[in-house]
Amino acid sequence: SHVPQIELNNGVRIPQFGFGVFTIPAADTAAAVRTAVEAGYRHFDTAQAYENEEGVGEGIRQSGVPREEIFVTTKLANDAHGHDNAITALEGSLQRLELDYVDLYLIHWPLPNQDKYVLTWQGFEELLRAGKTRAIGVSNFEVEQLERLAGESSVVPAVNQIELHPALQQAELRAYHQSRGIATEAWSPLGQGELLADPLLSELAGKYGKTAAQIVLRWHLQIGNIVFPKSVTPERVRENIAVFDFELADADLAAIGGLEAGRHFGPDPATFRG
Ligand code: NAD
């Protein structure tokens, strides 16, 4: 594969295309990761809440690809906010992954009702200094919460991982991220698969000789998002990464832009309280 890398705001490079393991059962995760590595994936997105970190580590080891050639992200469990808890929780992840460090550690949800994410972030800054993670970032943060971190801490998040796909394009957050040097990671990049029946996407699939999933993934890449679609079907795992041999024309990017519908497939950060 020819996956480009994006340089994060601390100089660490992340493959722009990866593999998400949300909802993959623990017992199936190592095999899924192995299939993905064979297909060319070098970036894996897991979380403490997914309960499959062991499988991610196992799959990477079984693949035989050196650790330093693979980018691993995990995320803090919602019940582990707070300075000390955030540190202990990453130690647990490293034990389950059987790794000495992760590449990226994210606050999974801000949980503004608990009002602990600034304290949590201070723990994250310590983990970064200690080399337990090469970069730190957040997920599901809104502008207001990013502004608060900016005012009360010193490390700017390397990424904000948010729900983003053609039906929820997140124009405001993307512009804010760009102005602050925060990379945008798009979760549920395929709208959990439900978006793919859209007639415009079928039409573009026909025009380019690609699938609707490939059209959507190519749209993400061309507007600068980092993506990690999930699939447990080996054929689709290979199909999804086969998006580096064509380019969507500007008019077609704009047409996909017209699919904005403010539609959430997952929990909406405006109302999610853990
Ligand atoms: P996704 O948009 O990647 O969709 C996955 C689903 O789409 C699959 O289960 C399958 O049904 C379908 N699909 C995949 N490839 C296909 C193809 N080629 N053709 C047809 N259908 C296909 O959804 P996701 O798993 O929710 O998101 C991807 C990753 O994002 C997750 O695995 C996880 O790592 C991350 N994520 C993070 C958060 C967060 O709160 N930070 C929330 C949800 C997901």
Ligand 1 within 6 A of CB of 52: no
pLDDT at 274: 83
The interface predicted TM-score of the complex, written ipTM, equals 0.99
CA 227 to centroid of ligand 1, rounded, Å: 10
Ligand 1 pocket, residue 6 CB under 6 Å: no
* Both tokens assigned to 244: 């580096």
pTM given for the model = 0.98
Q: Within a domain: residue 230?
A: yes
First to last CA, the chain: 38
Neighbours of 2 (CB within 10 A): 9
Q: Catalytic: 50? A: yes
Does residue 88 belong to any structural domain of this protein? yes
Reference 187, options 68, 55, 34, 75; nearest CA is 75
Q: Is the CB of residue 229 below 6 angstroms from any atom belonging to ligand 1?
A: yes
Domain count, the chain: 1
Q: What is the pLDDT along the chain (274 residues), one digit of tens a residue?
A: 689 999 999 999 999 999 999 999 999 999 999 999 999 999 999 999 999 999 999 999 999 999 999 999 999 999 999 999 999 999 999 999 999 999 999 999 999 999 999 999 999 999 999 999 999 999 999 999 999 999 999 999 999 999 999 999 999 999 999 999 999 999 999 999 999 999 999 999 999 999 999 999 999 999 999 999 999 999 999 999 999 999 999 999 999 999 999 999 999 999 998 8
Provide the domain limits for residue 176.
5-257
User: How far is Cα 44 from Cα 59, in angstroms, rounded to an integer?
Assistant: 11
Nearest residue by C-alpha to atom 36 in ligand 1: 187
Q: How far apart are CA 62 and CA 56, in angstroms?
A: 10
The CATH code of the domain that includes 112 is 3.20.20.100
Instruction: Indicate whether residue 53 lines ligand 1 (CB < 6 A).
Output: no
Is the shortest distance between the CB of 166 and ligand 1 below 6 Å?
no
d(CA 82, CA 115): 9
In this predicted structure, what is the pLDDT of residue 2? Answer: 87
State residue 102 phi and psi, 5-degree precision. -105, 170
Say if strands 71-76 and 43-45 run parallel, antiparallel, or are unpaired.
parallel
| Catalytic residue of the set 50, 105, 117, 176 | 50
Specify the ligand 1 atom closest to the Cα of 108.
41
How far does residue 177's CA lie from ligand 1's centre (Å)? 22
Sole residue written with tokens 């608990």: 114
Identity of residue 28: D
